[in-house]
Homo-oligomer: A and B are copies of this chain.
Amino acid sequence: MHTVTQPGSSAPRSAAATPARVAVVGATGYTGQELLRILSRHPSVTLRAAMSSGATASRKLPALNRLWGGEITPLSPEALREVDVVFLALPDAAAASLAPDLVAAGVRVIDLSGAFRLKNADERARWYPETRRIPHGLAYGLTELERVALTGARLVANPGCYPTATLLALVPLAAAGLLLPESDVVVDAKSGVSGAGKTPSERTHFSECHGSLSAYGVFGHRHGAEIQQGLAGHQVTFVPHLVPLHRGILATVYVRLAPGTSEETLAEVYQQAYADALFVRLVGAALPEIKHVAYTNFCDIGWRVDASGRGIIVSVIDNLLKGASGQAVQNLNVMLGVDERTGLW
């Protein structure tokens, strides 16, 4: 077993001089509520608006009572132009339509939908046909790997939850040339049910999920295209599963490694890649579990390698935080130039 050296624990430091004015659109969903919870106590921002579509604008959020004293208001694109940063926690089509206008009006946008995640036009047309305009200043918001691009971004495509857990595990290995050329990569991912959002359905009905387990979206999940985009040169097979828990994703990633690659090799590569990544914790052969990261913005990564070069990497996140709202605020922090941990520690 290798030794892992990474940044230690200390409190976040700075806050921005003038608080940024921010707004959340789609505030009543699970990711929207997490945004409200975080942003309402974030020292570098003032939360100016929390909007929702008409149908849910009157919804009560009893868990936020007293933590956040504001009100959900109906979506008003005009009012959004008076803030500095807008978080969009909307369906893909709504985000695809709204984001370009906001960017054009000078508002920076952090979009939690999938509308702007795929760079290849054909792929985007296939998986997100509603996305027709791509503003300038677009960055992909996988924070640890895109900090430079994020600093000046006008529109951030916040990654999907499955791609976040998967690409943080895979990209450093691919970049270091450790994956056997042309080898298969299998991503078997398991997600809690909150990943399916707040709209009731038979699939997410308690009695249909409790005590059960299922694969879904085989060969047809949009996050597969997003993972493939981050891993050129390998054929990625991605199968997501729904597991009976509320929050969290565990991705088990199967790779074929270049001859001679050991667990120590991986440890070195990951440590170098994440030397200043405060939210990535490397646990090596002590594989991580969802309970270690639930309700946090951490991504924990562990790995095992056998003599044949078979590598198994396990990556866990909280799908609503590092997989959505937490990473969105982490991106905000990079954009504002404040400590990445602000509001998230």
Cα A7 to Cα B247 with chains together (Å): 31
**Of residues A66, A205, A207, A219, which shows the largest number of chain B Cβ atoms within 10 Å of its Cβ?**
A207
In the bound complex, residues from chain B placing their C-beta under 8 Å from that of A212 are 245, 248, 289-291, 294
Q: Is the CB of B207 within 8 A of A194?
A: yes
Query: Interface residue count for A (Cβ, 8 Å)?
Result: 82
In the bound complex, residues from chain B placing their C-beta under 8 Å from that of A219 are 304, 306, 312
A175 at the interface (CB under 8 A from B): no
A229 at the interface (CB under 8 A from B): no
In A179-228, the 8 Å CB interface with B consists of: 184, 186, 188, 190, 192-194, 196, 198, 200-202, 204-216, 218-219
A18 at the interface (CB under 8 A from B): no
Contacting residue for A250 out of B8, B63, B215, CB 8 A: B215
In the bound complex, residues from chain B placing their C-beta under 8 Å from that of A256 are 184
Residue-by-residue, is A9-41 near B (CB-CB < 8 Å gives 1, otherwise 0)?
Answer: 111000000000000000000100000000011
In the bound complex, residues from chain B placing their C-beta under 8 Å from that of A66 are 6-9, 278, 281, 298
Q: Is the interface of A mostly helix, strand, loop or mixed?
A: loop
Cα A306 to Cα B218 with chains together (Å): 10
A288 at the interface (CB under 8 A from B): yes
In A41-88, the 8 Å CB interface with B consists of: 41, 60, 62-63, 65-69
In A242-299, the 8 Å CB interface with B consists of: 243-248, 250, 252, 254, 256, 278, 281, 283, 286-296, 298
In the bound complex, residues from chain B placing their C-beta under 8 Å from that of A30 are 207
In the bound complex, residues from chain B placing their C-beta under 8 Å from that of A283 are 62, 65
**Of residues A235, A245, A294, which shows the largest number of chain B Cβ atoms within 10 Å of its Cβ?**
A245
In the bound complex, residues from chain B placing their C-beta under 8 Å from that of A291 are 63, 208, 211-212
Q: Is the CB of B190 within 8 A of A287?
A: no
In the bound complex, residues from chain B placing their C-beta under 8 Å from that of A278 are 66
Give how many copies assemble into the complex: 4
In the bound complex, residues from chain B placing their C-beta under 8 Å from that of A310 are 184, 235, 237
Q: Is the CB of B290 within 8 A of A237?
A: no
Q: Is the CB of B205 within 8 A of A200?
A: yes
In A79-103, the 8 Å CB interface with B consists of: none
Rounded to whole Å, the gap between the CB of A221 and the closest CB of chain B is 12
Cα A296 to Cα B64 with chains together (Å): 10
Residue-by-residue, is A299-311 near B (CB-CB < 8 Å gives 1, otherwise 0)?
Answer: 0100010101010
A314 at the interface (CB under 8 A from B): yes
Chain A interface residues toward B at CB < 8 A: 6-11, 30, 40-41, 60, 62-63, 65-69, 184, 186, 188, 190, 192-194, 196, 198, 200-202, 204-216, 218-219, 235, 237, 239, 241, 243-248, 250, 252, 254, 256, 278, 281, 283, 286-296, 298, 300, 304, 306, 308, 310, 312, 314, 316, 345
Could you name 12 residue pairs across A and B whose Cβ atoms are closer than 8 Å? Answer: A7-B66, A11-B41, A62-B283, A65-B300, A66-B278, A186-B186, A210-B211, A212-B248, A214-B289, A216-B287, A237-B310, A239-B254
